[in-house]
Amino acid sequence: MDMNTEKLNKILAVFQGERGGLISILQRVQEEFGYLPEPALSLIADFLHLPQSQVFSVATFYDNFYLTRRGDHLISVCQGTACHVLGARDILETAENCLEIKTGQTTPDYKYSLERVACLGSCALAPVVLVDNEVHSKMTPRKVKQLLTEDIDDRKIQA
Ligand code: FES
């Protein structure tokens, strides 16, 4: 998805006249585009009369802001202690091999992004993998392989 300047201007128009709206604007722009395209950051800086460096440093400071396009589906592999002792490292490695990317990267078709996360608060279900907002419990490398090699868009959402 390329940045659409018209869409961005519409978002900025909503914030016209508001002071100190940088974080809110960044959140809204990311909601729209899925990430913060670099040209958008420059236009936001102009709009707020802020130095570009300030807008970039805020955008890079928060983990929840992404400066590169993300995949349609986010695979989060828990690396917290409970998951770690039950083989989370192998699970992450298997996910990397299946998707042919490294942790933190996105597949070239923008279908998947892979990330490691700290404890997801479901330690009793360890090791845990999150696919978008769907929890997959007691994962094994075999189960991860199965999960990531089937077509995710055809997959029925598990309860
Ligand atoms: S350590 Fe993975 S869910 Fe708690």
CATH assignment of 5-61? 1.10.10
Q: Which of 122, 130, 137, 139 to mutate to test the pocket of ligand 1 (most atoms within 8 A of CB)?
A: 122
Distance from the alpha carbon of residue 156 to the mean position of ligand 1, in angstroms: 25
Q: Boundaries of CATH 3.40.30.10 in the chain?
A: 73-149
In the prediction, which pLDDT does 157 show? Answer: 46
Distance from the alpha carbon of residue 118 to the mean position of ligand 1, in angstroms: 7
Identify whether 127 is preceded by a cis peptide bond (ω within 30 of 0): yes
Q: Which of 119, 136, 138, 139 to mutate to test the pocket of ligand 1 (most atoms within 8 A of CB)?
A: 119
- Whether the CB of 122 sits within 6 Å of ligand 1: yes
Q: Do 3 and 40 touch, CB atoms closer than 8 A?
A: yes
Nearest-atom number in ligand 1 for the CA of 82 is: 1
Distance from the alpha carbon of residue 155 to the mean position of ligand 1, in angstroms: 25
- Whether the CB of 55 sits within 6 Å of ligand 1: no
- Core vs surface per residue 14-25: b (16+ CB within 10 A) or e: ebeeeeebbeeb
CATH assignment of 73-149? 3.40.30.10
Listed as ranges, residues in the chain with pLDDT below 70 are 1-3, 19-20, 151-159
Q: Boundaries of CATH 1.10.10 in the chain?
A: 5-61
Give dist(CA 110, CA 76) in Å, integer.
15
